Amino acid sequence: MARRKHIKVAEVNDLPNVYSKRIEGSLEKFSQIVSNRQNLTLELACGNGEYTTGLAKLYPDRFFIGVDRKPNRIWRGAITVKEEGLTNAVFLNAHIERIEQLIPPQSVEHIWIPFPEPHPERGGRKKRVIHQRFLSIYRKLLKTDGVLHLKTDHKFLFDYAHTLCGWMGLTVVKSVPDLRNTGGLTPEESIMTRFEYDHLRDGRKIYYISFLLDNFDLTKIPKYE
The tens place of each residue's pLDDT in the chain, 225 residues long, gives: 566 666 787 788 889 999 999 888 999 999 999 998 989 999 999 999 999 999 999 999 999 999 999 988 899 999 999 999 999 999 999 999 999 999 999 999 999 999 999 999 988 889 999 999 999 999 999 999 999 999 999 999 999 999 999 999 999 999 999 999 988 899 999 999 999 999 999 999 999 999 999 988 888 888 766
pTM of the model: 0.94
User: Buried (b) or exposed (e) across 18-49, using 16+ Cβ within 10 A?
Assistant: bbbeebeebbeebeeebeeeeebbbbbbbbbb
Q: Which CATH topology does 2-220 take?
A: Rossmann fold (3.40.50)
